[in-house]
Amino acid sequence: MDIDVLKYFKTIARTGNMSRAAQELHVSQPTLTVAMRKLEDMLGVTLFERSKKGVTLTPTGLQIYQYSDQMLELWDEMVREAGSLDQTVKGTVRLGVHPSVGRYTLPVFLPTLLKDHPQLNVQLMHDLSRNILQMVRDSFVDIGLVVNPERHPDLVIKEICADEVTIWKKKGAPIQDTLIYDANLFQAQTILERLQKKGIRYARKIASSNLEVIATLLQAGAGHAILPKRVIMLNFSSIEEAHDHVTSFKDSLCVVYRPSLKRTATGKAILEAIFKSKF
């Protein structure tokens, strides 16, 4: 069980109000509601009586509240001991990143990080940025490199570089009636809407979930393609924008992590390696 859940429980019990507890803890009220529901399900008991005036502890909840003091004191003691005994960068860190983003970010900092810290292992997890963000929220991933993340009160989000998504064509290629893109990307959906407003239409559309495949087809002259500029720069040089008058979609690549990551020597080392890199 996440120790934060016990802290949430104690604060709710003390304040008797979910909204005040959320403000005091600097988390969203839905986060507290979900956490308490999971705690009650795990223990198989009802901890709170809920009313319009707020929440009060049930008799069982009162007993759990008394135990929680002892558990938190023990946890704090363990953290203090761990901090004094281990300042070594080691262990396995789960890093989430979209495959295409990983191609232009990971080589910049990961080789040096691994060389400097031989006891550190990194487990890479690849998915769409919005799914990586959710995995960081749920603690399935320790740190994420996420494009255009939604702000969340439980997460630290810091931009490390900018990018832009637009429509590209191969230089010197004949006019194309085919557009290749990833239909799952919000950026592509937005650009398609802008094309429609400009009266620009493609007779054929090819959807692919792999940006490298899209870039390869673009280079082969199969059609125009919606891609991030950094993907283009990484792969090809004989590519140019297809429609200068269509506004590109501005991307923001961010590091996303839970605040507790920065309290560890390993977390500090990884964040330092990322922030000092030039992407």
Q: How far, in Å, CA of 90 to CA of 81, rounded?
A: 17
**How are the residues of the chain apportioned to helix, strand and coil, as percentages rounded to the nearest 5?**
50, 25, 30
What is the reported pTM?
0.63
Q: Domain residue spans in the chain?
A: 3-85, 91-154+253-275, 163-252
Give the rounded percent of residues in the chain with a pLDDT score beyond 90: 46
Q: How far, in Å, CA of 247 to CA of 164, rounded?
A: 10
State in words which class domain 91-154+253-275 has: alpha beta
Span 59-100, pLDDT tens digits: 998 888 888 877 877 777 676 666 544 577 888 899 999 998
Fold that domain 3-85 belongs to in CATH: Arc Repressor Mutant, subunit A (1.10.10)
What does the block give as tokens for 177? 């009636």
Q: How far, in Å, CA of 32 to CA of 278, rounded?
A: 38
Q: How far, in Å, CA of 63 to CA of 69, rounded?
A: 11
Structural contact between residues 261 and 84, judged by C-beta atoms closer than 8 angstroms: no
Span 188-218, pLDDT tens digits: 999 999 998 888 899 999 999 899 899 999 9
Structural contact between residues 228 and 212, judged by C-beta atoms closer than 8 angstroms: no
3-85 shares its CATH topology with 163-252: no
Fold that domain 163-252 belongs to in CATH: D-Maltodextrin-Binding Protein; domain 2 (3.40.190)
What does the block give as tokens for 101? 């983003």
